[in-house]
Structure 1
């Protein structure tokens, strides 16, 4: 998984544990693709200050994940649900209505994660 995706996922899980400033910097840099210079200009600080804040915040997010493993658990569960959905899709010879309903439920859960 690429760095941006991982930081974004960790932010989704642990963002509320950050200060408002840290949240804003992460949102602007990773979510809105602002440059360090653009963030610095908006907040009246140096590019170095933005860089340092982002690095400290990234390290905090990684430390939270190392301790709590919420992103890892989420990804593991998502992969297992996707595998179960795939296995149900392989049941093609007039599957019973329970299989059809199980397939629908899994699809609903997988779509909730995306939106």
Structure 2
């Protein structure tokens, strides 16, 4: 399924949900692009669903975006019986960069979040 980006949908997202305006949502020429970037670069049209490698890239970029926000950053807790239960954004980014099992869970969670962002643009 392809994603359709329209100027109207992008502007609607940025005005109604400014907290997600800078979250990367598509790949254009192997570069992650947010809604704000798409508006300023005049990127519209249909985009294929990201491949797994592109989804890893988008997830990595998302965690870099979270780290770029002014701190202090929250600690993320995870229910786990046999391992670590609290993580910083830096640790989560490393998990994504290293393509670990936890990194894959984070990628799948980001994919669901991205789907919700795209629904908000309709």
TM interval, short-chain normalised: 0.3 to 0.5
TM-score (norm 2): 0.31
Whose relative contact order is higher, 1 or 2, with alpha carbons under 8 Å and at least 6 apart? Answer: 2
Normalized per residue, which structure has more helix?
1
Normalized per residue, which structure has more strand?
2
TM-score (norm 1): 0.33
Structure whose alpha-carbon radius of gyration is higher = 1
